Amino acid sequence: MKAFGLRAVCSIALLVVVVPAGAQVIPIKTIPIAQGDQFQIFPSDNLGLGGVSIALADSLGDPFANPATTARLRGSRLFSAPTVYSVSRNAGGGRSLPLAMLARQATWYGGLALVLQQVDPSRPPDQSGGLANPVAQLPPPPGGATPIPGPDLRAHGNEYAFGMIGRTLPGSNLSLAASALWTGLHALDGVDLLYSGSLRVKQTGHAIDVRIGAWKEWPGERGARSLEAIVLHNRFAATHNVLYADQVWDPALQRTVAQLRTDQNFDHTNTWGAQLKYQIPFATPGWRIGWILTVNRATHPKLPNYEITNVAVIPWDPGRSYAYDLGMGLSKVQGPATFGVDAMYEPIRSYTWADAIAPTATLGGDTIATGGKTVENRFRFSNAVFRIGVGRDIDLEGSPKMVGLQFGLMMRSISYRLEQTDHVELTQRALRTGWLEWTPTWGLTLRFPDLELRYRGRVTKGAGRPGTQFAVGVRDMALAGAAILAAPSGPLSLIDVNTATHQISLSLPLH
């Protein structure tokens, strides 16, 4: 079991932004909750190399991250990349079936993709490996009353649609392109675990990701220098209808009965982002070095009122975040061998607050007007990402076929300081914490004269999921209108799980 010590309330339990490809939208997490790999829906040649990308081109994944890099395509191709992921201890899983086509004609190029996905319900394993049934712990309803529904064990589907168009300007080695990704959401992996004690969570929503990209090359004797630029806008909007069964005293029956209650939570985040990537070759043949700079500005008009074990319930209102990514990478491609390494530093600043829903008295005798801030939270992240990978192609003697092997490792360190000001209790609290997630990767490629078949896999370790057995400790409590502000004194207990992802991609040239 993993104890994630908390002395102050974490306002952002998890910020989820739907971005299946690339690292142009920087993820923000304040709790080490394991998430399934449901957004790895498009093929990636570098996935088995630990996802190395700064100084090493990804022939399959780059067009979905920066549409202008499709100009590298020598001809039209058809892709499919069935992907399956699972969370250990039978805690969830999902599968995706994408179909994509990238086409080029003279100086114009474009692409289309459709993806169908199923996500299994997230299940909280307890320490014995079983699954808790909250309905079994409730008293039966009186005769004629609405029965208490059990957990929703059905898989729910998401749909994705991608479109892209671009052009290479004649005589300039400059390419410009634009892309759009629309997502219809009915299930985000892990969200139903963020409402402790609920019977079921119905999710609905959508996301749109629009990108404008540029790619420029300067040929030289030692190889080509290149510059990539991306500007994007991502809008995410989801609604969580959370069903609870409250135990209330029925004076007519003279006993406690279960009463159904539905809470509606909104999760809205709008992100503007930009990225620059620059690569140059070394004098030594095959070596390249690259730098990357990413900037994100996100606003959070609505954040859900998550209930995660002993993390207190607070109605969080608007917030904003600024995230940056500064990185450098090295790569070597010479003959059949490939090597790449990336190192990135991610400073992030997030600010959220809670609004008073009614005039609220403070401990000092003052009154906070409706709409005034009752709690303010400031997060300061110092995250780091390290990726490394090696690959080797092996020719089969006497055959036009080729076998490729890949191995890699990705490590992400998350560390932050939270400063919380409670204007109701007139207190201030501080928290420093962090954790490490690491992901070994591997890949196998079979190249034939008329097609390429790739298998990529990875396992993410270092995170967990809420179990059914935990200790709740509440030290300070104050009433703020209809809300309860509670600062937990006990640890948040998570059970260690691993997330495994397997992808098989098929690439066919269109003659």
Average pLDDT of the segment spanning 189-213: 89
Residue 394: its pLDDT value, please? 92
Distances (CA, A) of 126 to 5, 134, 242, 306, 470: 19, 13, 21, 20, 9
Mean pLDDT within 158-173 = 94
Res 213 pLDDT > 90: yes
Give the number of residues written for the chain. Answer: 511
Q: Tell whether 240 is covered by a domain.
A: no
Percent of the chain residues past pLDDT 70, beyond the cut:
83
Nearest to 503 by CA among 83, 124, 140, 222: 83
pLDDT at residue 311 above 70? Answer: no
pLDDT above 60: residue 51: yes
Burial class of residue 295 (count of CB atoms within 10 Å of its CB; 0-12, 13-18, 19+): middle
pLDDT at 481: 29
Asked if pLDDT for residue 430 goes beyond 60, the answer is: yes
pLDDT beyond 70 at 137: no
pLDDT band at 121 (very low <50, low <70, confident <90, very high): confident
- 252 falls within a domain: no
pLDDT at 146: 62
Q: Is residue 61 a contact partner of residue 42, using CB atoms and an 8 Å limit? A: yes
Average pLDDT rounded to a whole number, residues 259-270: 88
Poorest-confidence range of 157-166, 227-236, 396-405?
A: 396-405
Q: Is residue 218 part of a domain?
A: yes
Of 58-72, 138-152, 272-286, the range with the lowest mean pLDDT is 138-152
pLDDT tens digits for 1-30?
444 433 333 333 444 445 555 568 888 888
Task: Read off the tokens for 11.
Answer: 């306002």
| Predicted pLDDT of residue 468 | 54
pLDDT of 493: 65
Structure confidence at residue 9 (pLDDT)? 37
- Report the predicted TM-score, pTM, of the whole model to 2 decimal places: 0.84
Cβ 243 vs Cβ 272: under 8 Å: no
Q: What is the mean pLDDT of residues 213-220?
A: 93
Statement: residue 181 has pLDDT above 80 = yes
Measured in whole angstroms, the distance separating CA 257 from the mean position of its chain's CA atoms is 39
- Decide if 341 is inside a domain: yes
Q: Where are the alpha helices (DSSP H) in 160-275?
A: none
Beta bridge partners of 414: 435
Q: What share of the chain is helix, strand, coil (3-state, %, to 5)?
A: 5, 60, 35
Residue 253 lies in a domain: no
310 pLDDT above the threshold of 50: no
What is the number of domains present in the chain? Answer: 1
Q: State how far the Cα of 221 lies from the Cα of 281, in Å rounded to an integer.
A: 10
Output the CA–CA distances (angstroms, integers) from residue 510 to 75, 102, 507, in the order listed.
7, 9, 10
Q: What is the DSSP letter of 315?
A: -
Least trusted range by pLDDT, from 29-33, 117-121, 182-186: 29-33
Query: Comparing 144 with 427, which gets the higher pLDDT?
Result: 427
Give me the domain span that covers residue 125.
2-230+266-509
Of 267-276, 325-334, 491-500, which range is least confident? 491-500
Mean pLDDT to the nearest integer, 411-436: 89
Structure tokens at 24: 């142009």
Q: What is the 3-state secondary structure (H, E, C) of 73-105?
A: CCCCEEEECCEEEEECCCCEEEEEEEEEEEEEE
The per-residue pLDDT of the chain, averaged, comes to 83
Mean pLDDT of 489-510: 81
d(CA 366, CA 272): 39
Between residues 67 and 143, the one the model is more confident about: 67
Q: In whole angstroms, what is the distance from residue 391 CA to residue 395 CA?
A: 13
Inform me whether the pLDDT recorded for 474 exceeds 80: no
CATH number for 92: 2.40.160
Mean of the pLDDT values across residues 175-183? 97
Q: pLDDT: is 36 or 499 the higher one? A: 499
DSSP collapsed to 3 states, 449-469: CCEEEEEEEEEEEEEEEECCC
The predicted pLDDT at position 436 comes to 94
Q: Is residue 238 assigned to a domain?
A: no
Q: What is the pLDDT of residue 161?
A: 97
Q: Residue 135 has what pLDDT?
A: 47
pLDDT band at 356 (very low <50, low <70, confident <90, very high): confident
**Host H or E run for residue 250:** strand 225-250
pLDDT digits (tens, 9 = 90+) for 330-352: 999 998 999 999 999 999 998 88
pLDDT at 312 over 70: no
The whole-number pLDDT of residue 333 equals 94
341: Cβ contacts below 8 Å, ≥ 6 apart:
52, 329, 330, 331, 386, 387, 388, 389
**Res 59 pLDDT > 70:** yes
Mean pLDDT within 61-78: 92
Is 300 a residue whose pLDDT tops 80? Answer: yes
- Structure token pair of residue 173: 């080695």
For the ranges 94-108, 133-147, 301-315, 366-380, the one whose mean pLDDT is highest: 94-108
What is the mean predicted confidence (pLDDT) over 227-246?
Answer: 93
Evaluate whether residue 404 is within a structural domain: yes
Q: Give how far the C-alpha of residue 92 lies from the chain's centroid of Cα atoms, to the nearest Å.
A: 16
Question: Do the domain assignments include residue 254?
Answer: no
State how far the Cα of 240 lies from the Cα of 262, in Å rounded to an integer.
10
